[in-house]
Amino acid sequence: MTEQRIENVIIVGSGPAGYTAALYTARANLEPLVIEGFAWGGLLQQTTDVENYPGFPDGIMGPEMMQHFRTQAERFGARLETDDATRIEVSREGGLHKVWTGDQLYVTRALILAMGAQHRKLDVPGEAELAGRGVSYCATCDAAFFRQAPTLIVGGGDSAMEEAMFLSKFAAKVAIVHRRDDFRASRIMLERARAIPNIEWLTPYVVEEFSGENGSLSVARLRNTADGSSRELEVTGAFIAIGHEPQSQLVVGQVETDAAGYVVTKGRSTLTGIPGVFAAGDLVDHTYRQAVTAAGSGCQGALDAEWYLRDTPFPLSEAEIAEAAAGASA
Ligand code: NAP
């Protein structure tokens, strides 16, 4: 039986919330372990210019910003595990919490959940089958594959505008397909998108089906939500930008989540209701979902964890040590 190291704090997730929590807990000498995932950096890895993060008057590219977050956390001693968490088991009584990456078990006194959110799916026929073959959730990642191609973007928020503007630099045409005539996107983003000649606007329409030719996307069937009429659009690229879903799957049923799957925290804190388990960033936030608010929330998570560790007796009881040792042999 190998001896199981007991971590002070494990952070699961590596967007602005996760790395900020890592930075703060590292600077508090807690030697945090960050389970950052293979695709570390969160959704900002998939964005281009970030113009609304204070401190960068000329803007910064999303991936570059996340590299900075990561480097800063590491500089103060955060340890990074570039692997995906596959299972989490929280101790309801606030004992030791467990996180697995495959067969590897980690045991910790405090746990900060910062798994963020992922792209929402349309759930229409053809979407899953043609994902990666024309259907994409990230124009920043995939736009270059669609040079001079006819494309569409689904959605009416800032993400859809941002994706459309980026894609318009590559594609022959970008049709923005939105289910209402009104747009949720901010005025500045809408105005910028409206000024681009190869963006066209199709409202109020929803995509009902994607179909392909030789395994690649060729047609999107649209339905007008006002009069019910249908039309077909020949496209080889379709980008879905209809918002996000919290990545709470590993903790659903163990910490309180709301109807949409966001982790519920107490008041303005990051406390989940399970002693020693905190949640931060997009995982808890349906409302603001900004890099800067996620970073602030990660800082709160770190401080909450630090105060918890300060106020919670250590060493552990014999039962807890035995439990951790049992975990090591599991
Ligand atoms: P969002 O604001 O929630 O917008 C999602 C859009 O998708 C809405 O227009 C919604 O339509 C539509 N939609 C949702 N489910 C749909 C479905 N099943 N079928 C068809 N359409 C559907 O999400 P977001 O655009 O990802 O933005 C999230 C947050 O990030 C916002 O606060 C935004 O301001 C921010 N953001 C900012 C920037 C920037 O400033 N550079 C860039 C990206 C995101 P309805 O409007 O009809 O509900």
Looking at domain 121-240, does it have CATH number 3.50.50.60?
yes
Going residue by residue through the chain, which has 330 residues, state the pLDDT in tens, using 9 for 90 and above: 567 899 999 999 999 999 999 999 999 999 999 999 999 999 898 777 788 899 999 999 999 999 999 999 999 999 999 999 999 999 988 789 999 999 999 999 999 999 999 989 999 999 999 998 999 998 877 898 999 999 999 999 999 999 999 999 999 999 999 999 999 999 999 999 999 999 999 999 999 999 999 999 999 999 999 999 999 999 999 999 998 899 999 999 999 999 999 999 999 999 999 999 999 999 999 888 899 999 999 999 999 999 999 999 876 667 777 776 666 544
Nearest C-alpha neighbor of 73 from the set 7, 12, 20: 20
What does the alpha-carbon distance between residue 298 and residue 292 come to, in Å, rounded to a whole number? 10
Task: Using CB atoms within 10 Å of the CB of residue 113, give its burial: 0 to 12 exposed, 13 to 18 middle, 19+ buried.
Answer: buried
Give the model's pLDDT for residue 329.
47
- Give every CB contact of residue 15 below 8 A, 6+ residues apart in sequence: 41, 42, 43, 44, 66, 114, 116, 281, 282, 291, 294
Annotated catalytic residue, options 49, 58, 83, 142: 142
142 is catalytic: yes
Give the model's pLDDT for residue 288.
87
For residue 183, report the distance from its CA to the centre of ligand 1, in Å.
9
What is the pTM assigned to this prediction? 0.78
What angle, 0 to 180 degrees and rounded to 10, lies between the N-to-C axes of helices 158-167 and 187-194? 30
What are the residue ranges spanned by the domains of the chain?
A: 6-118+244-329, 121-240
Identical fold for domains 6-118+244-329 and 121-240, yes or no, is yes
The 3-state DSSP class for residue 308 equals helix
141 is catalytic: yes
299 is catalytic: no
What does the alpha-carbon distance between residue 55 and residue 50 come to, in Å, rounded to a whole number? 11
Give the model's pLDDT for residue 3.
76
Q: Which CATH superfamily is domain 6-118+244-329 in?
A: FAD/NAD(P)-binding domain (3.50.50.60)
Pocket of ligand 1 (CB under 6 A): 52, 122, 154-160, 162, 179-180, 184, 186, 206, 242-244, 289
What is the number of residues in the chain? 330
Give the model's pLDDT for residue 326.
67
Tell me: the pLDDT tens digits for 193-222? 999 999 999 999 999 999 999 999 999 999
Ligand 1 pocket test: pick from 44, 159, 245, 293 the residue with the most ligand atoms within 8 Å of its Cβ: 159
For residue 241, report the distance from its CA to the centre of ligand 1, in Å.
7
Nearest C-alpha neighbor of 263 from the set 143, 155, 114: 114
Annotated catalytic residue, options 83, 84, 141, 311: 141
